Chains A and B, each alone.
Chain A
Amino acid sequence: GESVGLHLPTLSVQEGDNSIINCAYSNSASDYFIWYKQESGKGPQFIIDIRSNMDKRQGQRVTVLLNKTVKHLSLQIAATQPGDSAVYFCAENIVGYQKVTFGTGTKLQVIP
Chain B
Amino acid sequence: NAGVTQTPKFQVLKTGQSMTLQCAQDMNHEYMSWYRQDPGMGLRLIHYSVGAGITDQGEVPNGYNVSRSTTEDFPLRLLSAAPSQTSVYFCASRIRGETQYFGPGTRLLVL
- The reply to whether A101 and B97 form a contact with Cβ atoms under 8 Å apart is no
Neighbour of B102 across the interface among A41, A43, A96, A103, CB < 8 A:
A43
Give per-residue flags for B89-111: 1 if the beta carbon is below 8 A from chain A beta carbons, else 0.
01000001101111111000000
Give per-residue flags for B48-70: 1 if the beta carbon is below 8 A from chain A beta carbons, else 0.
10100000101000000000000
Give per-residue flags for A67-94: 1 if the beta carbon is below 8 A from chain B beta carbons, else 0.
0000000000000000000000100000
Number of residues in A with C-beta < 8 Å to the partner? Answer: 22
Minimum Cβ distance to chain A for residue B54 (Å): 11
Chain B contacts for A103, CB-based, 8 A: 42
A98–B4 alpha-carbon span in the complex (Å): 18
- The reply to whether B90 and A43 form a contact with Cβ atoms under 8 Å apart is yes
- The reply to whether A104 and B40 form a contact with Cβ atoms under 8 Å apart is yes
- The reply to whether B101 and A46 form a contact with Cβ atoms under 8 Å apart is yes
- The reply to whether A104 and B41 form a contact with Cβ atoms under 8 Å apart is yes
Minimum Cβ distance to chain B for residue A104 (Å): 5
Question: Is A44 positioned at the interface, with any CB of B under 8 Å from its CB?
Answer: yes
Chain A contacts for B79, CB-based, 8 A: none
Neighbour of B42 across the interface among A34, A43, A98, A101, CB < 8 A:
A101
Minimum Cβ distance to chain B for residue A26 (Å): 13
Neighbour of A89 across the interface among B40, B42, B48, CB < 8 A:
B42
What are 15 inter-chain pairs, A to B, with CB distance below 8 A? A34-B99, A36-B102, A42-B105, A43-B4, A43-B90, A43-B103, A43-B105, A44-B102, A45-B102, A46-B99, A49-B99, A89-B42, A98-B31, A99-B58, A103-B42
Known contacts A44-B43, A95-B97, A102-B43; 15 additional CB pairs below 8 A are A34-B100, A41-B105, A43-B4, A43-B90, A43-B102, A43-B103, A44-B102, A46-B99, A46-B101, A98-B48, A98-B50, A98-B56, A103-B42, A104-B41, A105-B42
